[in-house]
C-alpha cells in the first residue's frame, strides 16, 4: 500500500506547485488530477511551451496567448467565458475545449487545420492570420461572427452554422 501512495504523490505535488506558481484560485481537484476553476485563468505571456496544469472546466475566461505552445493538451473541456490562445506556435486545435461560452481566439498561430475546434462557440470565432487552406473541422455552431481572413483559403466550404457575419479575404 505504501508504494501506491508514493507513486501518486509526486504528480499531485507537481500539479499543486504549478497551481500556486500561476496564482490560480478557487479550484478543486478531480480524481484524474485535473482541476475545475470557479473563475478565470491567465497563463498568457509566460514563455510556456506546454500547459503546466491539466484543466477540466473553467467557469470564466481561459487565456494562454503570447507563449510558445505547440499543443493545447491539458486545456479545459469547457470554458464559460472566452478561450484565447492567439500568438503561439500551434499547428492544430486538438485538445482545445469542446464548448466555449463566449469568443474563441486562435489567430496568429501556424494552424494548417481547424480539426479539433470546439463543437460550439457561443460568441465570435477567430482564426485569422494562420496557414489554413480549408475550413474543414471548424465549429459546428458559432453564435457570433467568424473571422478567417489572412489565410490561404479558396472557399468557405466546411464552415459550420454562423449566427453573425463571415469575414474572409474573398
What does the pLDDT look like over 94-152, one tens digit per residue?
999 999 999 999 999 999 999 999 999 999 999 999 999 999 999 999 999 999 999 99
pLDDT value of position 3: 40
Give the DSSP letter of residue 84. E
Report pLDDT for 2.
43
In CATH, 1-170 is 1.10.3470? no
Q: Where do we find the cell 484543466?
A: 55
The reported pTM is: 0.92
Q: What residue segments make up the domains of the chain, in order of their start?
A: 1-170
φ/ψ region of 3 (left if φ > 0, alpha if ψ in -120 to 50, else beta) reads alpha
8 — pLDDT class (breaks 50, 70, 90): low
pLDDT value of position 118: 98
Query: DSSP assignment of 113-157, as one string?
Result: --TT--SEESS-EE--SS--S--TT--SEESS-EE--SS--S--T
36, 30 in Cβ contact below 8 A? yes
Residue 8 in 3-state DSSP?
A: helix
pLDDT at 14: 77
For the stretch 33-73, pLDDT in tens is 899 999 999 999 999 999 999 999 999 999 999 999 999 99
Average pLDDT over residues 20-26: 94
The CB-side HSE value for 71 (13 A sphere, CA atoms) comes to 8
From the CB of residue 4, how many other CB atoms can be counted at a distance below 10 Å?
8
Amino acid at each position: 500500500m505504501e508504494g501506491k501512495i508514493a507513486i501518486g504523490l509526486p504528480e499531485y505535488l507537481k500539479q499543486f506547485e504549478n497551481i500556486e506558481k500561476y496564482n490560480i484560485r478557487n479550484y478543486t481537484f478531480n480524481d484524474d488530477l485535473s482541476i475545475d476553476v470557479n473563475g478565470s485563468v491567465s497563463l498568457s505571456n509566460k514563455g510556456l511551451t506546454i500547459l503546466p496544469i491539466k484543466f477540466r472546466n473553467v467557469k470564466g475566461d481561459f487565456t494562454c496567448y503570447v507563449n510558445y505552445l505547440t499543443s493545447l493538451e491539458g486545456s479545459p473541456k469547457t470554458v464559460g467565458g472566452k478561450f484565447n490562445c492567439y500568438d503561439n506556435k500551434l499547428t492544430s486545435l486538438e485538445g482545445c475545449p469542446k464548448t466555449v461560452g463566449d469568443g474563441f481566439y486562435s489567430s496568429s498561430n501556424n494552424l494548417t487545420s481547424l480539426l479539433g475546434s470546439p463543437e460550439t462557440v457561443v460568441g465570435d470565432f477567430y482564426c485569422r492570420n494562420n496557414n489554413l487552406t480549408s475550413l474543414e473541422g471548424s465549429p459546428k455552431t458559432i453564435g457570433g461572427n467568424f473571422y478567417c481572413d489572412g489565410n490561404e483559403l479558396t472557399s468557405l466550404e466546411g464552415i459550420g452554422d454562423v449566427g453573425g457575419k463571415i469575414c474572409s479575404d474573398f
